[in-house]
Structure 1
Amino acid sequence: MSTDPYALFSDWLGEAARSEPNDPNALCLATCTPEGRPSARMVLLKGHDARGFVFYTNLESRKGRELAANPFAALCFHWKTLQRSVRVEGAVEAVSEAEADEYYASRARGSRIGAWASRQSRPLEGRWALEKAVADYTLKFGVGAIPRPPHWSGFRVVPERIEFWRDMPFRLHERRVFHRDGAAWREEALYP
């Protein structure tokens, strides 16, 4: 196996894309509330490279507010068909405006309208309110361009630690952990 955690992750994600029936890029994102309590939810990975792991969201959502207050997160990927998982921990930074614009433009038109219509994580008085907002923004933008809302962007988790877990017989699982050591990575094995 690779000694470069980014290359190893790319290999595993590629295998998951061929074997997982749905959303091989799904991950559990864990943040922390201002009171210090854990908060987790599922999101989709939309990019990864040597700079980190990228996802997009409404900045006014619960996760957006939590990351603004405490810019650290943990990610957990689990691929049941492969019997593998990857855990990532690190600081969080905003993606560039250009990156956010590029990804936003690649989304389906309905998803771009939804980014304007959804007041993510806030109370919804009824489904009709969301449907009305979608209709209003659909009318507003017509068939023209739909700009990226100012409250919608992305985050990059810059890993300090990446753990690769692989199921092995008799629960003697393989665990490889990469720790950032300056510009390099230090690897160690852990007991299962």
Structure 2
Amino acid sequence: MTPRLVLGITGATGAVYGLRILQRARALGVQTHLIVTPAGVLNVHHELGLSRSELEAEADQAYAPADVGACIASGSFATAAMIVAPCSMKTLASVAHGFGDNLLTRAADVTLKERRRLILMVRETPFNLAHLRNMTAVTEMGGIVFPPLPAFYHHPKSIDEMVSDTVERVLELAGITAAQPQSWAGLRNSTS
């Protein structure tokens, strides 16, 4: 069976992560189910110059946030994982407190209740106490908080390389076994 991945894109900065996850998932043969919030659409247009329809064309299936009757709102629709990339603090708070008030947060709630992997690529800095408490709550429920922090030990030469490495790490964490993140090889010729 083809793996299914639910992807949410919110209005936080970092829309490139959501787009690249869609593109990489397609290359790996993963079926994608996309929900983009209204603020996510604005940010995708601002950061990437894409319209909603251009972004949705990258997914196998796209849904409106108000479509709470969509298949991904039910636990009977089996998925490998759900990723929210990027994840705003508003969406984090909604997930942390169980507000299934739109399809994105309902799908996240379903992912948690079914004990599937939920990965939130939170984008904000610095964190305030509410942010930290919401991240703790999501973690206690089984979710994974994954701020997209670049790994510099691979000596990336461009932003594109940093985004690609993060996307591969997230896809692997989501259970997509074909993902190919760079592994840490250890320090060579190090002295104590």
Same fold (TM over 0.5): no
Structure with max Cα Rg: 1
TM-score w.r.t. structure 2 length? 0.24
Looking at secondary structure, tell me which structure has more helix per residue. Answer: 2
Looking at secondary structure, tell me which structure has more strand per residue. Answer: 1
